[in-house]
Amino acid sequence: MRDRILTWLEHQVTPPRVQHILRVEQLCGELAQHHKLDVEKAKSAGLMHDLAKYFKPQRLLQIAQTEGLELDEILAGEPHLLHADVSAIVARDEFGVNDEDILEAIRNHTLGSPQMSQLSCVVYVADTLEPGRGTTPELEQLRQMCFENLVAALTLPMSKDTGILA
């Protein structure tokens, strides 16, 4: 299925985004192995986390409405924030993914969620900290922390100095 997903991605996102996705997949696998989680689930979630990244805002809104997702003012005003939820829907509908752990990790990779599973934490931090995001001292500290204590890494302050939010 990985080859099928990659072929689909090559027609849906830019080449630099495909490279980002592959780096996230790799880091998800490394983090999962280190934290004794299901490596295949982590890599699958990492591979599919940005399926809807380049969907147009109207398409994101339409899919969200069809699916019955709750749209508040922020999501309605910034439909791009829906790409995580819609990516999970695409994973389910296009690739037959029914594993709720994987779908939840895809849904949570952008905004997070209170009491996320460790798998969700892995995808969240891998998306944020994959090597293509830069090599600032702050990013390196966060990368080290996510191997030492995954949950603690989520709570470390991020700023424009890290290059993540710039």
How much is the pLDDT for 114?
Answer: 87
Answer whether 65's CB lies under 8 Å from 39's CB: no
Looking at residues 127-151, what average pLDDT do you find?
91
pLDDT at 160: 40
Structure tokens, 27: 């880091």
Which pTM does this prediction carry?
0.91
Range of the structural domain that residue 32 is part of: 2-162
- 70: how many CB neighbours lie within 10 A of its CB? 6
- 42 contacts: CB under 8 Å, gap ≥ 6: 28, 29, 31, 32, 105, 119, 122, 123
Q: Compute the distance between CA of residue 27 and CA of residue 131 in angstroms, rounded to an integer.
A: 9
Using pLDDT thresholds of 50, 70 and 90, give the confidence band for residue 129: very high
Mean pLDDT of 117-137: 94
Percent of the chain with pLDDT over 90: 83
Distances (CA, A) of 79 to 65, 75, 117, 120, 130: 11, 5, 25, 21, 24
Look up residue 154 and give its two tokens. 């989520």
Q: What is the CATH number of the domain that holds 18?
A: 1.10.3210.10
How large is the average pLDDT for residues 75-86?
A: 96
Total count of domains within the chain: 1
Number of other CB atoms surrounding residue 34 within 10 Å: 14
pLDDT tens figures, 22-67:
999 999 999 999 999 999 999 999 999 999 999 999 999 999 999 9
In the prediction, which pLDDT does 158 show? 56
Q: Where are the alpha helices (DSSP H) in the chain?
A: 2-12, 15-34, 39-48, 57-67, 73-77, 83-95, 100-107, 118-129, 137-148, 150-155
